[in-house]
Structure 1
Amino acid sequence: QQPVSMRYGIRGLTQMVWSWKGHSPASGDVYVFFSKDRKTMKALKWDGDGFLMYTKRLSQGRFREVLKKGDDGVRRLQWDDFYMLMRGLTPVKVTVENRFRMAVK
């Protein structure tokens, strides 16, 4: 993904997502955008009746590069990886124990 001007708001970012073949901003996926200097990040998500936009600007350091691009040019990551990115953590190989998880309704 190319750097994005952080002047874009919800409307500009949703138009950008619509321009990507096969992607819809209303899919429920979270779309993450980074500034050129990687100090600012915006995340866009449809929550069922409107868009949420989350912005984080680092006062020190930069967001690290996340995952390699897939065949469609999009980088995909799980929520845990996104959380680590936001906290400035570097993922290492972790073994997760098989535990009971109740489905949230």
Structure 2
Amino acid sequence: MIGFQSDLKVILVTGPIDFRAGINTLAALVSNTIAKNPYDGQVFIFRSRRADRLKLLHFDGSGMILLTKWLEGSKFAWPPIQDGVMKLTSAQMALLLGGMDWRRLEQKPVKIPTMAG
């Protein structure tokens, strides 16, 4: 299971993949193409050419997880297609998986009130 804890590292691969790829192919892609370790607990998100399907790859400490999600009748919000990766927060990943536009999420600094002595 992929937990949505706040310190979860999420890597979005911006270019589309061959959606026939399985766990071994995606792990090799992570290792060889984007020079990351697929076994270090990060979540790697890949998209299909039509942007209506996603694959997530995650090592949870005991085994590799491959999750696939399809949207019926719409597309996932995605940055322009290019080679490379982007980092997402766990909140942005949750919005992406829900089919929402995660790019509208902004982190606002929290102001901590100070006590005057």
TM-score normalised per structure 2:
0.71
Calculate the aligned-residue CA RMSD, in Å.
Answer: 2.5
Q: Is the 8 A contact 2:52 2:71 kept in 1?
A: yes
Alignment coverage as a number of residue pairs: 97
Which structure has more relative contact order (CA 8 Å, sep 6+)? It is: 2
Q: What secondary structure is seen at the aligned counterpart in 1 of 2:17?
A: coil
Structure with greater proportional strand content: 2
Q: Is the 8 A contact 2:38 2:58 kept in 1?
A: yes
AA partner of residue 97 (structure 2)? M
Cα distance in 2 for partners of 1:77, 1:23 equals 15
Deviation of the 1:84 alpha carbon: 0.5
Structure 1: tracts of 5 or more residues without a match: 99-105
- Which has the greater radius of gyration? 2
Aligned to 2:21: 8
Inter-CA distance 42–59: structure 2 relative to 1 (3 Å threshold): same
Cα distance in 2 for partners of 1:84, 1:96 equals 20
TM-score normalised per structure 1:
0.78
Give per-residue Cα distances to partners, 1:28-68, cap 9 Å, x unaligned.
Answer: 1100000000011000000112101110011110011149x
Cα distance in 2 for partners of 1:21, 1:46 equals 17
Q: How do residues 51-90 of structure 1 correspond to structure 2 at under 5 angstroms?
A: 51-66=64-79, 73-90=84-101
Deviation of the 1:19 alpha carbon: 0.7
Inter-CA distance 97–42: structure 2 relative to 1 (3 Å threshold): same
Q: Percent identity?
A: 27
Q: Is the 8 A contact 2:71 2:99 kept in 1?
A: no
Cα distance in 1 for partners of 2:53, 2:70 equals 4
| Moved segments of 4+, more than 3 Å | 92-98
Cα distance in 1 for partners of 2:109, 2:100 equals 17
